[in-house]
Chain A
Amino acid sequence: MPEGMTAAANPAGQGTAMLEVRDLEAWYGESHVLHGVSLDIRQGEVVTLLGRNGAGKTTTLRAIMGLTGRRTGAIRFEGRETIALRPDLIARAGIAYCPEERGIFASLTVKENLMLPPTIAPGGLSVEEIHTLFPNLKEREGSQGTKLSGGEQQMLAIGRILRTGARLLLLDEPSEGLAPVIVQQIGVTIRKLKERGFTVLLVEQNFRFAQTVADRHYVMEHGRVVDMVANQDLAASMDRLHEYLGV
């Protein structure tokens, strides 16, 4: 499978992708977690990363942000190689990250959490626009960040990276552990972000949710990307995906 899919993994073709990841390997200390991840994301696309627990989805996002230990391979963002950059410089290049554990700061209020990530470029959402997307955040502005409900914390974690002007958003399982209504609301938000021209790399296990928002899906197994399915081919590829994901 991995051999035959190199072409499929680069549907965007050389040079046109906003983010190009090639043969990315990453380590946490001694443990070798990513064994050659290759993927492409074009400007304006919503792409998901599917895979079982422990497949390396979170690690892929963390490696793109420079948050793992040693990394090798290539990560080109808007034509610029970022693999040797520090995380803060990668962020300033225009990539924003929403971690799986949400990363809401307990010692900051909701408002402080929202305003924390520095603006790195013009073109981000205004605070009013974020409040329109997530009205709860406005109501609870003065509360301690971690006093919010799980869903509200997820909204805050997404909301705060929309302000910064970053053009590529890395979202790690935003639907995890949330009630269906809130998952739906997050789906609406992601589609709105796509309309506004944001590019999104979305880690998901919730396959039903992923298919409502994404253009393409990459499948990861054991630290590698092993397959790619366009959203319109999803129905035809069901059997294959079920096998990968063990659902």
Chain B
Amino acid sequence: MESLIFFLEDAAPLLVLGLVNGAFYALLSLGLAVIFGMLNVINFTHGAQFMMGAFVAWMLLSWAGIGYWGALILAPLIVGAVGVLIEKTMISRLYKLDHLYGLLLTFGCALVIEGLFRNNFGVSGLPYAVPAELRGGIDLGFMFLPTYRGWVVLMAVVMCLLTWYVIEKTKVGSYLRAATERPQLVQAFGVNVPRMMTLTYGAGVALAAFAGVLAAPIYSVRPDMGASFIITVFAVVVIGGMGSIMGSIVTGFMLGFVQGVTELIYPPFAQTVVFFIMAIVLLTRPAGLFGRA
């Protein structure tokens, strides 16, 4: 019994860290899945849009005096609007072409956006404080849980469930699901599918920006913060199966947790474990754990 408590004291912080990472993986891969399902585009700009969310939060605070709570709502709207602009002016022209073009375009956009931020803000991180209401922590007996980390996991769970609910259980969601299957027919029923695609892209991007605001107080606000995350997130997407909503949520949390456990057992392997799992999944279930082949 005593040794279990000791073990938990060691293990808990790492598992929480894993869960926090998992929260970001889930939010980001969810956005990717929503975009891919509707637009058939793998949005390589996703990491840059996550980073933009954090930067917009920082700008709102430094330039306009708008704090964390305002940023949590405004930053996703602002970055989502930029996403709408990108879809309308560029991505929408590529739907008739091969997948690869959308991938190249969004990858190019990511490089341009990250370059712009690097030029203007440098590579060292900018600080963003945890909001006063969420400072401190909670003593759970076997561990000390920083309130903000608990908040991030909670928000991610709420946001993921909300997105899932909208897509699977509402009227708007039924348009989305139907248009994913047969966009032409849905349009022939009188639904403005091109506009729906634009708004879906905007919503997926807003989700990334929301994650970016959540991340700002934990990781410093840096131009490359998205790039380092997004590589793991793409592995998550491959493991979960492209386009599956619940799949990306569950896989995101699960892999964050697995990383935490690996950190505990054999730290050097923690950064690699996700890619190791990806290789195994690709060999045994190429469509992903939750993917429809």
A108 contacts the other chain (Cβ, under 8 Å)?
A: yes
A67, A107, A112, A115: the one contacting B188 at CB < 8 Å is: A67
Interface flags for A99-121 (1: CB within 8 Å of B; 0: not) read 10001011110001001111010
Q: Which partner residue on chain B sits nearest A61 by CB separation?
A: B188
CB of B175 within 8 A of CB of A88, answer: no
Instruction: Identify the closest chain A residue to B193 (Cβ).
Output: A88
Interface size class of A (residues with CB under 8 A): 20 to 34
Interface residues of A in 73-132 (CB under 8 A from B): 86-88, 90-92, 96-97, 99, 103, 105-108, 112, 115-118, 120
Q: When the two chains form the complex, which single residue of A86, A91, A105, A164 contacts B177, counting CB atoms closer than 8 Å? A: A105
Which residues of chain A come closer than 8 Å to B177, judged between CB atoms? 105, 107-108
Shortest distance from the beta carbon of A79 to any chain B beta carbon, whole Å: 20
**Chain B contacts for A24, CB-based, 8 A:** none
**A19 adjacent to chain B (CB < 8 Å):** no
Q: What is the CA–CA distance of A86 and B191 in the complex, to the nearest angstrom?
A: 10
Contact in complex: A67, B184 (CB < 8 Å): yes
Whether the pair B190, A118 counts as a contact (CB closer than 8 A) is: yes
**B174 contacts A88, CB within 8 Å?**
no
From DSSP, what is the main secondary structure of chain B's interface residues? Answer: helix
Residues of B within 8 A of A67 (CB): 184, 188
A116-B190 Cα distance, complex, nearest whole Å:
10
A86 to B182, CA, bound (A): 16
> How far does the Cβ of B164 sit from chain A's closest Cβ, in whole Å?
13
Taking a contact as CB atoms under 8 Å apart, the answer to whether B188 and A105 are in contact is no
Smallest CB gap from B175: residue in A: A116
Q: In the complex, what distance in Å separates the CA atom of A202 from the CA atom of B37?
A: 34
Judge if A17 is at the interface, Cβ distance under 8 Å. Answer: no
CA distance A37 to B175 in the complex (A): 33
Residues 39-84 of A contacting B (Cβ, < 8 Å) = 65-67
Chain B 235-261 per-residue mask, 1 if CB under 8 angstroms from chain A, else 0: 000000000000000000000000000
Q: A67-B184, A99-B185, A115-B171 are in contact. Are A107 and B178 (CB under 8 A)?
A: yes
| Complex: chain B residue closest to A92, CB-CB | B190
Contact B174 A118 (CB under 8 A): no
Interface residues of B in 185-224 (CB under 8 A from A): 185-194
What are the residues of chain B within 8 A of A117 when measuring CB–CB? 189-190
A116 and B178: CB pair below 8 A? yes
Contact of A88 among B171, B180, B187 (CB under 8 A): B187
Beta-carbon contact of A87 and B181 below 8 Å = no
A-B CB pair tally, cutoff 8 Å: 59
Closest to A95 in B: B188
Contacts of A116 in B (CB 8 A): 174-175, 178, 186, 189
Q: A86 touching B187 by the CB < 8 A rule?
A: yes
Name the residue on B nearest A90 (C-beta).
Answer: B188
Residues of chain B within 8 A of A108, CB atoms compared: 174, 177-178
Nearest Cβ in chain B — how far from A209, in angstroms?
24
A65–B193 Cα gap in the complex (Å)?
A: 14
* In the complex, chain A residues whose CB is within 8 Å of the CB of B188: 65-67, 87-88, 90-91, 97
A97 CB, nearest partner CB in chain B, Å: 5
- Complex: A206 Cα to B178 Cα, angstroms: 30
Complex contact B189–A118 (CB within 8 A): yes
Tell me if A164 and B190 are in contact (CB < 8 A): yes
Find chain A residues with CB under 8 A from B178 CB: 105, 107-108, 116
A109 to B180, CA, bound (A): 15
Q: How far is the CB of B199 from the nearest CB of chain A, in Å?
A: 14
Question: Given contacts A108-B178, A112-B174, is CB(A118)–CB(B191) below 8 Å?
Answer: yes
Chain B 143-181, CB within 8 Å of chain A: the 1/0 string?
000000000000000000000000000010011011011
Query: What is the chain A residue whose CB lies nearest that of B171?
Result: A115
Q: Once bound together, how far apart are the Cα atoms of A97 and B171, in whole Å?
A: 21
Q: Which residues of B contact A91 (CB under 8 A)?
A: 187-190
A-chain residues with CB within 8 Å of residue B192 when the two chains form the complex: 86, 88
Given contacts A108-B177, A112-B174, A115-B171, contact A103 B190 (CB under 8 A): no
Closest partner residue, chain A, to B191 (CB atom): A88
Q: Does the CB pair A107–B181 fall under 8 Å?
A: yes
Q: Which 5 A-B pairs have the closest CB atoms?
A: A91-B190, A117-B189, A107-B177, A87-B187, A87-B188
13 pairs from A and B in contact (CB 8 Å cutoff): A86-B194, A88-B189, A90-B188, A97-B189, A99-B185, A105-B177, A105-B181, A107-B181, A108-B177, A112-B174, A118-B189, A118-B190, A161-B189
Task: Give B residues with C-beta under 8 Å from A.
Answer: 171, 174-175, 177-178, 180-182, 184-194
